[in-house]
């Protein structure tokens, strides 16, 4: 009895707001010039009572209670724009804002319902959608190619493919997983997945409000990794990539790491001869925050797209480091109703307007959040006839057919 989801192991000593200045990343806040680049580049800086620049000023003046009582931090979509532009390299998105949000969560009388549900679901079912943990690998039956699940066949594999949540459950995300499986198969990659043993990597938990949720998921996933033998972890989700690269290392994560798009980019020479079908499409590529700004994979997805016969790549006004967030990061995925109730423009809508303005037929993405966000936004704005959303892997797999 009493099987527990929540692991009670003590967390390693972590940075808190109280001990912030004992860490080099924290002390860096003292060097802030108050130049306002962060507030200016923040996609919701105009609607925040306290944009990042003011938060730093108030932190230094010891006036934080006001920030916690405001709703400013709910509007942070963890897009890394402020951090990318900061001339002093202050780790805003990585360090300061998560600590602030953690405190805001404790102060907030009520969390927006969808965000609360997503956090509770992620703890209980290992995915924010609230789907059964036992159905996480159900999509595999429709993959069309063999997908090995470690639990069923624990022989060592070269690559552990960490599929992640939306790519496991959301129907359009599953399309992306089926495409990835077919690409891996065609390239002869020796891979296996964790199947129903996998749980969300937890990146949005950490960047959102919930270090405890993140640590619980990290402890869990690390324990599962140790059951199997593999050399490299490849994930379909830039958020998971980010979590493994920057946070799981504190729990001993030492595997080679890749996101599926740059991984395929490195195998482009072998992939190119397989891309036989012309797609005849004008494609614009959206840089996901965690893959682009945070990890600087700008060229790999573009090179993959250009390798598809018939694809003409066009750029949106804001691209690469200036890419506009889809609004799904840092918990924004579950705050659309809240944003709408505050009269805020959905960032996904702001983004697809730019995409439509390029005259492209396809909006290419490489983050599982973006498929649902952009498809919804296209429908809301009436662009869904002229513009399709496709993951880079979907386009590659489409070109491989026939």
Partner 1 sequence: MNLLVLLKMVPDVVEELDIASGGAGLDMDVARMALSESDDHALEQALLLKERMGGTVAVLAVDAAEVDDALFTALAKGADRALKVDAGGVSQAGTRALADLLARVIADGHNLLPVDLILTGTQAIDDLDGLVAPLVAHQLGLPYLGIVTEVTPEPAGKVASVVKEYSGGVRGRFEVDLPAVLGIQSAERPPRYVPVAKVRAAMKTQRIETVEAPTLADGGMALAEVKSMSKPEEAGRAEMIEGTPESASARLCGILADRGLV
**Using CB under 8 A as the criterion, which residues of the chain lie in contact with partner 1 when the complex forms?**
1-8, 10-11, 102, 105-106, 110-111, 113, 116, 119-120, 123-125, 130-132, 134, 209-213, 215-216
Minimum CB separation from partner 1 for residue 169, in Å?
12
Minimum CB separation from partner 1 for residue 19, in Å?
15
- Residue 135 CB: number of other CB atoms within 10 A? 13
Residue 131 or 345 with smaller CB distance to partner 1: 131
Q: Is the dihedral angle over the CA atoms 289, 294, 298, 302 positive or is it negative?
A: negative
Minimum CB separation from partner 1 for residue 139, in Å?
16
CA distances from 237 to 129, 230, 259, 369 (A): 15, 19, 7, 8
DSSP 8-state secondary structure symbol assigned to residue 332: G
Residue 92 or 213 with smaller CB distance to partner 1: 213
**Residue 6: left if φ>0, alpha if ψ -120 to 50, beta else—which one?**
beta
Residue 45 or 330 with smaller CB distance to partner 1: 330
Instruction: Give me the torsion for CA of 128, 146, 302, 258, rounded to 10°.
Output: 60
Minimum CB separation from partner 1 for residue 110, in Å?
7
Residue 114 or 345 with smaller CB distance to partner 1: 114
Strands (E), 265-326: 281-285, 311-314
Minimum CB separation from partner 1 for residue 125, in Å?
7
Residue 11 or 30 with smaller CB distance to partner 1: 11
Helix (H, G, I), strand (E, B) or coil at 313: strand
Separation of alpha carbons 83 and 233, rounded Å? 27
DSSP 6-57: S--PPPPP---STTGGGSHHHHGGGG-----HHHHH-TTTTT-SS-HHHHHH
Minimum CB separation from partner 1 for residue 1, in Å?
5
Residue 211 or 238 with smaller CB distance to partner 1: 211
């Amino acid at each position: 009895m009493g099987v527990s989801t929540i692991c009670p192991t003590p967390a390693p000593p972590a940075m808190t707001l109280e001990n912030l200045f004992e860490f080099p990343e924290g002390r860096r806040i003292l060097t802030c010039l108050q130049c306002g680049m962060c507030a200016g580049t923040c996609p919701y800086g105009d609607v925040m009572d306290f944009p990042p620049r003011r938060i730093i000023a108030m932190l230094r003046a010891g006036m934080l209670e006001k920030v916690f009582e405001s709703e400013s931090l709910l509007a942070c979509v963890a897009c890394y724009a402020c951090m990318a532009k900061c001339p002093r390299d202050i780790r805003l998105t990585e360090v300061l804002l998560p600590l602030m949000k953690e405190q805001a969560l404790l102060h907030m009388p009520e969390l927006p319902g969808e965000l609360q549900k997503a956090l509770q679901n992620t703890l209980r079912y290992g995915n924010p959608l609230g789907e059964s943990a036992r159905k996480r690998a159900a999509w595999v039956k429709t993959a069309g190619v063999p997908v090995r699940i470690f639990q069923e066949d624990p022989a060592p594999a070269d690559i552990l493919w960490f599929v992640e949540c939306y790519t496991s459950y959301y129907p359009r995300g599953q399309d992306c997983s089926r495409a990835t499986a077919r690409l891996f198969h065609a390239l002869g990659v020796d891979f296996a997945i964790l199947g129903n043993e996998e749980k969300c990597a937890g990146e949005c938990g950490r960047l959102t409000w919930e270090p405890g949720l993140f640590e619980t998921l990290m402890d869990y996933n690390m324990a599962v990794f140790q059951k199997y033998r593999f050399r490299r972890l490849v994930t379909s989700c830039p958020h998971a990539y980010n979590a493994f690269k920057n946070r799981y290392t504190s729990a001993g994560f030492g595997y080679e790491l890749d996101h599926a798009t740059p991984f395929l980019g490195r195998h482009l020479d072998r992939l190119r001869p397989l891309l036989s079908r012309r797609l005849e499409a004008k494609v614009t590529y959206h840089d996901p925050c965690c893959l682009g700004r945070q990890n600087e994979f700008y060229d790999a997805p573009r090179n993959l797209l250009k390798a598809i016969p018939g694809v003409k790549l066009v750029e949106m006004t804001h691209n690469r480091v200036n890419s506009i967030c889809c609004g799904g990061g840092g918990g924004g995925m579950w705050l659309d109703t809240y944003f709408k109730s505050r009269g805020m423009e959905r960032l996904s809508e702001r983004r697809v307007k730019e995409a439509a303005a390029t005259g492209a037929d396809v909006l290419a993405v490489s983050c599982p959040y973006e498929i649902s966000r952009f498809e919804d936004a296209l429908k809301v704005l009436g662009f869904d006839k002229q513009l399709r959303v496709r993951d880079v892997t979907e386009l590659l797999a489409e070109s491989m057919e026939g």
